[in-house]
Amino acid sequence: MAKYLLLKHYRGAPPAVNDVPMDEWTPEEVEAHLTYMRDFAARLEESGEFVDHRALAPEGTFVRYDGEGRPPVTDGPFAETKDLVAGWMVIDVDSYERALELAGELSAAPGAGGRPIHEWLELRPLLTAPQPMTE
């Protein structure tokens, strides 16, 4: 089994086909989307392929260490994750092909008008710790 991260983006990915911001959806459209996400996760739990998922609030702050005795630096001249990452799901699947299949299915979550979003998802394998060498 291999673990993969499916990243959902607020911005930064190519526009989705049904590119209407969620804050412009009706309450029924939002509920349909959330129900799809819950049902998708529940199905993966049943198959043993689900690890975890979270939605992220759009607000956040980048923080960086700036030297001994100095306050941390916040924000900066770079793309901010709070503007990019909307949420994530970790899956544990048998193959890269299965990860692609699930990412494609998640991309079909309903959006405005009940139509699939066709949202771009970033699929990234999780690194594992190197195994100790034995002689």
Closest CA to 107 of 13, 3, 12: 13
In a domain, residue 93? The reply is yes
pLDDT at residue number 59:
72
In a domain, residue 71? The reply is yes
pLDDT at residue number 3:
95
Provide the strand spans (E) within 10-72.
Answer: 50-55, 63-64
Supply the pTM of this predicted model: 0.77
CATH number at residue 110: 3.30.70.1060
pLDDT at residue number 62:
72
In a domain, residue 79? The reply is yes
In a domain, residue 134? The reply is no
pLDDT at residue number 102:
96
pLDDT at residue number 1:
79
| Collapsed DSSP state (helix, strand, coil) of residue 113 | helix
Q: What is the pLDDT along the chain (135 residues), one digit of tens a residue?
A: 799 999 887 666 777 888 888 889 999 999 999 999 999 999 999 999 999 999 887 777 777 777 888 877 766 555 544 456 788 999 999 999 999 999 999 999 999 999 999 888 889 999 887 767 776
Instruction: State how many domains the chain has.
Output: 1
In a domain, residue 119? The reply is yes
pLDDT at residue number 129:
74
- Per-residue buried b or exposed e for 44-82, using 16+ beta carbons within 10 Å of the residue's own CB: beeeebbbebeeeeeeeeeeeeeeeeeeeeeeeeeeeeb
Expressed as residue numbers, the domain containing 96 is: 2-125
What's the CA gap between 50 and 103, in Å, rounded?
13
